[in-house]
Amino acid sequence: MDLGDLPHAVIRRSKGGLPAEALGQIFVTLDPTVASWRTLEFISWQVRDWSRSGRTVQIRSRGLPPVIGERIQLGTSLRIIIEFFVVGLDTDPERLLREIEEFATDLQGSQRMYCLDWSNGTIQRKNE
């Protein structure tokens, strides 16, 4: 993993992780479309909701330098990173995986609950 993908500010602020803490990251790559922008907004809301409920999760963006040598990267390197900070892995080594699985399940549940479709450029309620 590139060191640029680590949450440097959090690590500097706390001078490292907590005992028995793991960092789980989900990398999301989106197309430069309105539908992707809305997907990002929906995922960002879910992360915010989880964080407000006491989960240690955050979402951030990562972009690489605009140019490396002759290669132009601007417009191609943007990634969204969802990060889960989970403690207690010394007694429950699978806790991080369950946390990520629960996030995915909650995200799918939110999609079903709101019944929104934004794939065709407009936002519409869909029938289940």
CB 40 within 8 A of CB 48: no
**CA 13 – CA 64 distance, rounded (Å):** 23
| pTM of the shown model | 0.84
**CA 12 – CA 90 distance, rounded (Å):** 23
Q: What is the pLDDT of residue 93?
A: 83
**3-state percent helix, strand, coil for the chain, nearest multiple of 5:** 40, 25, 40
Cα maximum dimension of the chain = 50
Q: What is the pLDDT of residue 1?
A: 41
Q: What is the pLDDT of residue 13?
A: 63
Which helix H or strand E contains 36, and what residues bound it?
A: helix 34-52
**CA 18 – CA 118 distance, rounded (Å):** 40
Q: What is the pLDDT of residue 88?
A: 87
Ordered by where they begin, the domains of the chain are: 3-122 (3.30.300)
Query: Quick one: tokens of 13?
Result: 């602020």
Task: Please list the residues that pair with 24 across neighbouring strands.
Answer: 84
Note down pLDDT in tens along the chain; length 128 residues: 455 566 556 666 666 777 888 888 999 999 889 999 999 999 999 999 999 999 999 999 988 889 989 999 998 889 999 999 998 888 888 999 999 999 999 999 999 999 999 988 889 998 75
Query: Quick one: tokens of 76?
Result: 């191609």
